[in-house]
């Protein structure tokens, strides 16, 4: 049995957003934890103790038992003691500023998820293929118009899934940039290139200040959308949410605004991260582009492996609602657990050669979309978006290489490349 407590200097980076910008170092640290402290405790000053869960089997065992490992009782992302107290002050004693699907447990989670679940079933998502392919084609045309170099992250990856999800919600094109900006303020609050202007990144209260501002901005924006769709429903996601009933009653305001927040942020940011990293991979792995051009039937495998490879959601926090024995450890009621999806998707006990990007990984049972009842509701949309983009782009992409150094975001929660400079030829 490994040590119960992880040396603080070893594990502290896991709580620091800046650490995630050095992807290689982060992966090395997680591998060390997985091999030497597979389910052990981090006691980092300023934070409550957390079990650090790095093994695939442990992550799955926890995340499929929502009745035991709650999502709604504590912050869902790593939060300092100061940040948690600020969230409670702001939200009237609740542990979250937002109240999205991510922050709920059954039966609330089930009732709220049911509102949109049918829209996101694969057979209903498939009906969107023609319109999404047209969007993909336009973004590929745009890339071709840029000449021979671009920042693929900023020029293509961030904008295409943004357009898809904003169109599904029913937002006008001129407002898409607002959604991107608020998403970056929210999910990349600590990244100096993407954070809210005026943020003081050295201030331990900055994260919560920014989230309060983001919540209020979304509330201001969606207030008029909600009124409009309640008065005159259309065939869009905004109408479904604005008129949504939970157990026969209208949603409370915080839940409704939060529903729009998660659709407007998580609905594109993780896909953008995966698309950006897919291109980075194409530009650096010899032979990958040629193989996909020769065998386009492998594009779905490419998408699936890119999700595992990127694992854009780094982590979620759960809290134990009762005592539980997990892999020989005694988890006590109230304990916090840091769930590392990135580590689980590199677990050698689950994946052969996990540090190789392989098109022949079948089945690819990664948990990049999560696992259990909280599995990403938009997973089938994300897969479709990515498949269509690569089906449109790869036949036209003759060559690609990095034209400079790529950069990862400084983000401990959703994390992807923020800068992917490439040199390319297209037909």
Nearest-approach distance from CB 113 to other proteins, in angstroms: 9
Instruction: Choose which of 4, 5, 67, 121 interacts with other proteins (CB under 8 A).
Output: 121
260 touches 229 (CB < 8 A)? no
Contact segment (CB under 8 A) with other proteins among 86-94, 196-204, 319-327, 365-373 equals 365-373
For the segment 208-227, give every residue that binds other proteins (CB under 8 A): none
200 exposure class (CB count in 10 Å sphere: 0-12, 13-18, 19+): exposed
The torsion of the CA quartet 68, 72, 78, 79, rounded to 10 degrees, works out to -130
- CB-wise, 242 or 376, nearer to other proteins? 376
Phi-psi region for residue 347, left (φ > 0), alpha (ψ -120 to 50) or beta? beta
Hey, how many other C-beta atoms are within 10 angstroms of the C-beta on 280? Answer: 26
Cβ atoms of residues 101 and 66 within 8 Å:
no
Query: Which residue in the set 63, 167, 271, 310 belongs to the binding site for other proteins (CB under 8 A)?
Result: 63
122 binds other proteins (CB under 8 A): yes
Closest CA to 264 of 231, 215, 212, 224: 215
Q: Which C-beta is closer to other proteins: that of 60 or that of 209?
A: 60
- Integer Cα distance of 333 and 319 in angstroms: 8
Number of residues that bind other proteins (CB under 8 A): 15
Interatomic CA distance for residues 159 and 400, integer angstroms: 20
Closest Cα to residue 260, out of 296, 286, 221, 234? 221
How many residues would you count in the chain?
A: 427
Residue from 142, 365, 407, 423 binding other proteins (CB under 8 A): 365
Query: Which residue number, 63 or 409, has a Cβ lying nearer to other proteins?
Result: 63
Please, which residue, 108 or 175, has the CB nearer to other proteins?
Answer: 108
Strand order in the sheet with 421-426: 149-151, 421-426, 397-402
Cα 148 to Cα 397: distance, rounded to the nearest angstrom = 11
Q: Which CB, 48 or 385, lies closer to other proteins?
A: 385
Q: Kindly write out the interface string for residues 367-406 of this chain, putting x where it contacts other proteins by CB under 8 A and - elsewhere.
A: ----xxx-x---xx--------------------------
Cβ distance to other proteins smaller for residue 290 or 375: 375
Nearest approach, Cβ of residue 375 and other proteins (Å) = 4
Q: Which stretch binds other proteins (CB under 8 A): 115-123, 168-176, 230-238, 244-252?
A: 115-123
Residues 406-425 that bind other proteins (CB under 8 A): none
The separation between CA 340 and the C-alpha centre of its own chain, rounded to angstroms, equals 12
Closer Cβ to other proteins, 113 or 423, answer by number: 113
The residues in 64-93 that bind other proteins, with binding defined as CB under 8 A, are: 64
360 vs 405, which CB is nearer to other proteins? Answer: 360
Per-residue CA distances from 325 to 265, 304, 322, 328 (Å): 35, 32, 10, 6
Of 248, 363, 405, 427, the one binding other proteins (CB under 8 A) is 363
Binding residues (CB under 8 A) for other proteins: these are 60, 63-64, 120-122, 362-363, 365, 371-373, 375, 379-380
């Amino acid at each position: 049995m490994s040590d119960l407590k992880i040396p603080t200097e070893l594990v502290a980076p896991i709580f620091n957003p800046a650490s995630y910008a050095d992807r290689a170092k982060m992966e090395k640290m997680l591998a060390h934890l997985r091999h030497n402290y597979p389910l052990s405790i981090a006691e980092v000053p300023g934070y409550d103790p957390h079990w650090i869960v790095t093994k695939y089997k442990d992550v799955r065992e926890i995340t499929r038992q929502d009745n035991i490992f709650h999502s709604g009782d504590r912050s869902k992302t790593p939060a300092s003691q100061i940040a948690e107290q600020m969230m409670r002050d702001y939200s009237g004693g609740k542990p979250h500023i937002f109240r999205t699907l991510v922050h709920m447990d059954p039966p609330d989670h089930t009732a709220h998820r049911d509102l949109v679940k049918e829209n996101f079933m694969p057979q209903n998502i498939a009906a969107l293929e023609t319109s999404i392919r047209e969007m993909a084609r336009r973004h590929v045309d745009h890339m071709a118009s840029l000449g021979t170099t671009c920042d693929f992250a900023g020029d293509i990856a961030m904008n295409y899934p943004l357009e898809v999800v904003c169109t599904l919600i029913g937002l006008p094109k001129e407002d898409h940039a607002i959604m991107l900006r608020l998403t970056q303020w929210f999910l990349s609050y600590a990244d100096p290139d993407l954070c809210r202007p005026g943020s003081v990144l050295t201030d331990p209260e900055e994260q919560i200040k920014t989230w309060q501002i983001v919540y209020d901005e979304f509330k201001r924006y969606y207030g008029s959308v909600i009124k409009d769709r309640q008065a005159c429903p259309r065939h869009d996601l905004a109408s479904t949410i604005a008129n949504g009933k939970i157990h026969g009653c209208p949603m409370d305001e915080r839940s409704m605004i939060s529903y729009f927040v998660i659709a407007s942020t998580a609905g594109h940011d993780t896909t953008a991260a995966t698309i950006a990293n897919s291109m980075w991979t194409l530009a650096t792995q010899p032979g990958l582009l040629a193989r996909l051009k020769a065998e386009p039937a492998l594009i779905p495998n490419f998408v699936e492996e890119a999700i595992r490879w990127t694992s854009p959601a780094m982590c979620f926090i759960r809290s134990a609602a009762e005592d539980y024995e997990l892999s020989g450890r005694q988890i006590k009621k109230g304990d916090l657990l840091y769930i590392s999806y990135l580590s689980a998707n590199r677990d050698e006990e689950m994946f052969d050669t996990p540090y190789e990007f392989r098109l022949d990984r079948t089945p690819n049972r990664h948990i990049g979309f999560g696992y259990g009842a909280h599995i990403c509701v938009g997973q089938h949309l994300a897969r479709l978006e990515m498949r269509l983009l690569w089906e449109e782009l790869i036949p036209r992409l003759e060559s690609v290489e990095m034209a400079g150094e790529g950069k990862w975001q400084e983000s401990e929660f959703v994390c992807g490349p923020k800068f992917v400079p490439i040199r390319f030829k297209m037909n």
